[in-house]
């Protein structure tokens, strides 16, 4: 009888904790989504924005109308803060707040001159990515940025931005993957554990990436 009573009160306590975490997690993720969407709209100078919410509280996918680009897409995936029971699995899988930005350029010349159309991928060391399937096509180089180890995959030349002061910025501590694919003229950035001030800083210097290859 005493044991059953302890189990009962344990389950009651667990239920209360789950409800508190659920409500806190929902509010936190909604707040983050709103703040990041506002930073993106302001930082990009978006003339129009369309959002699709993911699972209500797990982030969003968005499309922005921005001068100088065909379009800009963003995908924000947030840690499931509202689901305490899922936390161990999410942590085991390395889930963190993740933001992906895709800039569709109007023409290839807006990022590099015609003689330096060079696909590259700068990827956080140890991060599993689809690019690993194409390792044989690229030259590689280990690079340290913001006290973080990266691997550069490139075909022709090393992007010039890697030798500039741009690399000293703190937002590289949140970057997981930067890529440029010349066939589609897409400039891609992936952030992990993104912070609001870092995102603002990155967007304020975005134009420095336009000549990323030369």
pLDDT above 90 coverage of the chain, percent: 27
In a domain, 15, yes or no: yes
Q: Are 174 and 192 in contact (CB under 8 A)?
A: yes
Phi then psi dihedrals of residue 117, to 5 deg: -75, 95
Q: What per-residue confidence (pLDDT) applies to 87?
A: 74
Q: What is the pLDDT of residues 62-80, one digit of tens each?
A: 999 998 889 999 999 998 8
In a domain, 198, yes or no: yes
Q: Which domain holds residue 151?
A: 2-79+87-209
Q: What is the pLDDT of residues 148-206, one digit of tens each?
A: 889 888 887 777 777 655 665 677 888 899 988 888 888 999 999 888 888 998 898 88
In a domain, 195, yes or no: yes
Evaluate if residue 9 carries a pLDDT over 80. Answer: no
Q: What per-residue confidence (pLDDT) applies to 114?
A: 47
In a domain, 214, yes or no: no
Burial class (CB in 10 A: 0-12, 13-18, 19+), 112: buried
For the chain, how long is the longest CA-to-CA vector?
A: 81
Number of domains in the chain: 1
How sure is the predictor about 36, in pLDDT bands with cuts at 50, 70 and 90?
very high
Q: Beta strands 98-105 and 69-77: pairing type?
A: antiparallel
Q: Which of 188, 178, 161 has the alpha carbon at shortest distance from 105? A: 188
Phi then psi dihedrals of residue 7, to 5 deg: -65, -40
Order across the sheet with 98-105: list the strands.
48-53, 59-65, 69-77, 98-105, 186-192, 175-181, 120-124, 148-154, 139-145
Q: What is the pLDDT of residues 107-143, one digit of tens each?
A: 655 554 444 467 888 999 887 555 566 667 788 888 8
């Amino acid at each position: 009888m005493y044991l059953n009573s302890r189990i009962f009160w344990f389950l009651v306590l667990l239920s209360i904790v789950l409800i508190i975490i659920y409500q806190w997690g929902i509010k936190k993720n909604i707040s983050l989504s709103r703040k990041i969407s506002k930073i993106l709209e302001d930082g990009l100078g978006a003339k129009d924005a369309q959002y699709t919410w993911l699972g209500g509280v797990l982030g969003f996918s968005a499309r922005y109308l921005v001068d100088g680009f065909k379009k800009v897409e963003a995908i924000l995936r947030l840690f499931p803060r509202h689901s305490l029971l899922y936390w161990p699995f999410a942590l085991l899988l390395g889930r963190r707040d993740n933001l992906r930005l895709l800039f569709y350029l109007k023409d290839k010349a807006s990022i590099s001159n015609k003689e330096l159309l060079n696909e590259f991928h700068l990827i956080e060391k140890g991060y599993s990515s689809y690019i690993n399937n194409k390792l044989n096509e690229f030259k590689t180089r280990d690079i340290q940025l913001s006290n973080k180890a990266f691997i550069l995959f490139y075909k022709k030349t090393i992007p010039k931005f890697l030798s500039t002061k741009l690399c000293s910025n703190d937002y590289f501590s949140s970057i997981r993957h930067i890529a440029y694919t010349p066939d589609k003229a897409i400039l891609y950035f992936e952030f992990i554990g993104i912070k609001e001030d870092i995102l603002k800083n990155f967007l304020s210097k975005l134009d420095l990436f336009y000549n990323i290859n030369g």
